Amino acid sequence: MEKTLRRKGDAVTIHQVAHHAGVSPMTVSRVMNGNSNVREATREIVMRAVRELNYTPNPAARSLAAAQGTRIALIYTNPSAAYLSELLVGALDGASRTAAQLVLDTWANVTPAAERTAARKLASSVAGVILPPPLCESKAITSELIAAGIPVVAVASGRFRANLSCVRIDDFRASQEMTAHLLEMGHTRIGFIKGHPNQTASARRYEGFHAALQEAGIALDPALVQQGYFTYRSGLEATEKLLSRKRPPTAIFASNDDMAAAAISVAHRRGLDVPRDLSVVGFDDTPTATTIWPELTTIRQPIAAMAESSIELLLRSIRRKDGETKVVVDHVVAHQLIKRDSVAEPPKSSA
């Protein structure tokens, strides 16, 4: 019937919007890209037409015309599966909403020596990079990428560094709040399992713990602080050490959920009930937190949302090439203390 030449059918094009608004396609394009030099009145007319027709730019045409691939790389090493899957879900959601192409790569077995080369190679094939820890801590990688002129976002890094955009939570304050929660419940001997030393977030979390104790006027007992590496295994060992003491802690604050899960496992093996005999808290609110029993009190870090934000940040940075103004942002998102079943008041006997 129709002159259905090649079009599939439904999609609204920029021409239809332009016609509807009584302007040229070019103007619509400018409005859509928030570019420049469009009179406010015109912009509004166009926006209304866009809304009425429910127009979405065709990503294929856009990237073809702009000759500006929107490939965004997400590089990971070997985070816990739970962490990775949330990261991926978020990134993928963001990518499909913004019509960016997400490419994945693992640098699990890239030696530090090879990092610069890998980064250079990466820079030539993508338009932006998302770096979760611990990669975002590597000066070699980030400086190489930035030198190549492609935007980089560090997601869930512990601190903000100049030149490097960053989407993260306030690890320090989160940790402080968690510690305060344990103190409120009556705990005074709190064991702490640190995170991997090569990640800035680890230090922040420890500092928050320290600060909260100090605020409560409690001296930090160095023997109650154990080094961990964010792995289940390291949590096992750290907990063993903590619980082998003459006066073991009544609560354990692990720097992530995996290590907290390990702490619970060790407690059980020793015949301790959680939370009656020992309270345990974690950090991140990964799926493990609700998989195990009892469910973990932990800090919710909205990884998926953070990954999505990162994509948006990158795209904005990639698409804006007019102003040439490199904007480096430090986007701190809200965390949340989630109380579940792994915390109780300390046992009377140990008071």
Partner DNA sequence: CCAAGGAATGTTAACGGTACCACGACGACC
Partner DNA sequence: GGTCGTCGTGGTACCGTTAACATTCCTTGG
With contacts defined by CB under 8 A, name the span among 25-33, 188-196, 289-297, 310-318 that binds a second copy: 289-297
Which listed option, a second copy, DNA, none, makes contact with residue 92 (CB within 5 to 8 Å by class)? Answer: a second copy
3-class DSSP assignment, residue 157: coil
| Nearest to a second copy of 58, 227 (CB atom) | 58
What does the alpha-carbon distance between residue 17 and residue 25 come to, in Å, rounded to a whole number? 8
Using rule CB under 7 A, residue 15 touches DNA? yes
Sequence-separated (6 or more) residues with CB below 8 Å from residue 272: 243, 278
Residue 278 is classified by DSSP as -
- Closest separation in Å from C-beta 118 to DNA: 26
Give the count of residues interacting with a second copy (CB under 8 A).
44
Write each residue from 27 to 66 as x if it is in contact with a second copy (CB under 8 A), else as -, in one continuous string. -------------------------------xxxxxxx--
3-class DSSP assignment, residue 230: coil
Using rule CB under 7 A, residue 37 touches DNA? yes
Length of the chain: 351
Interface with a second copy (CB under 8 A), residue from 34, 293, 327, 334:
293
What does the alpha-carbon distance between residue 346 and residue 279 come to, in Å, rounded to a whole number? 8
Phi, psi of 161 (to 5 degrees): -120, 145
What does the alpha-carbon distance between residue 128 and residue 291 come to, in Å, rounded to a whole number? 35
3-class DSSP assignment, residue 71: strand
Using rule CB under 7 A, residue 32 touches DNA? yes
What does the alpha-carbon distance between residue 327 and residue 277 come to, in Å, rounded to a whole number? 51
Which listed option, a second copy, DNA, none, makes contact with residue 347 (CB within 5 to 8 Å by class)? Answer: none
Closest CA to 131 of 97, 91, 85, 169: 91
| Nearest to DNA of 213, 318 (CB atom) | 318
Which listed option, DNA, a second copy, none, makes contact with residue 211 (CB within 5 to 8 Å by class)? Answer: none
Neighbour order of strands in the sheet with 190-193: 225-226, 190-193, 251-254, 279-281
Using rule CB under 7 A, residue 67 touches DNA? yes
What does the alpha-carbon distance between residue 200 and residue 132 come to, in Å, rounded to a whole number? 12
Residues binding a second copy (CB under 8 A): 6-8, 58-64, 67-69, 80-82, 84-86, 88-89, 92-93, 96, 99, 101-104, 231-233, 236, 258, 265, 268-269, 271, 286-288, 291-293
Residues binding DNA (CB under 7 A): 5-8, 11-15, 22-30, 32-33, 35-39, 41-42, 55-58, 61-62, 64-68
